[in-house]
Structure formats: structure tokens, C-alpha cells
Amino acid sequence: MTHRIETWILKHRSNILMIIGIIVISWVILEAEKTRQHELLETRLIDICKRDPTYGEYVDAFLRELTEPRLWKAFITGNGDVYSADDDWHIQSHCDLVANPRDSEEHYCWAIEWYQGTNTYVFWIDKDSETIVSICWTTY
């Protein structure tokens, strides 16, 4: 039986290598597209932050002076509790942050977060309306 498998593999070696090559190339293309989509989303969310009439002017400073923003998914309650969300927007664990939505409603949000020393600045952007529902900063 083993001899038969080895013979088959040797006979179809070029086809097997071609299939493996196609799988690897497909994976590389998929990862590149995911990265591109993430960068486009991050750019769009940063633009939304820049348009905020109260805090938009700070965003350019954040981009110049602070670390790269961290983007993550969250659910915020009307009273400000924050929960992380997974890739499919399922609520995960409670976070040690508070986000007081301007409209006191619940929101599934993109959180775009900047760090400066011991300070953290977070813009909460509703995933559907793409409007800022809260902005918070904390010091650790």
C-alpha cells in the first residue's frame, strides 16, 4: 500500500506542487487584502474623528505625536459600560473603560485608541452610522 502511494505521489508530483503553490499564493493574497481593508477602515475612522467639532483638532496632533492608533470592536451601554466584541460583533468581556454615549443609547462601536505616556484617548464610533457617540480619555 505504501509503495502504491509513493508511486502515485511521484507520478503526480508536479500537480501536487502546483496545488500547494496555488494555496500559498491564495493565502498571501487574502492576507494582503485583509491588511488593505483594515488600513482603509482605519483611515475612514480617523477621518470621522478629525471631523468632530470639539475634538477633531486634537486628532492631527495625536497622529503626529502619539503611537499608532489601535482599532478594536466594542459594545457600549447607555450608562457607559464597555464590553469588547469579537470579529462578528458578539459581546465578549467587560472592559475597564467608561464611554458615556452622547445620546445615552446602546451602540456597537469601533474604538480607535491612542496612547500618550500614561494617557489613553478613545473615540467611540457607531459601526452603523459611523458617527462619534463618545470620546473618553483615561490616565493610568
Whole-prediction pTM? 0.70
Q: Could you list the pLDDT tens digit for every one of the 140 residues in the chain? A: 677 888 888 888 888 889 999 999 999 999 999 888 888 888 888 888 888 777 777 777 777 766 678 889 999 999 989 999 998 999 999 988 888 888 899 999 999 888 777 888 888 999 999 888 888 887 76
**SS3 string of 78-126?**
CCCEEEEECCCCCEEEEEEEECCCCCCCCEEEEEEEEEECCEEEEEEEE
Q: Which of 25, 59, 18 is nearest to 42 (CA)?
A: 59
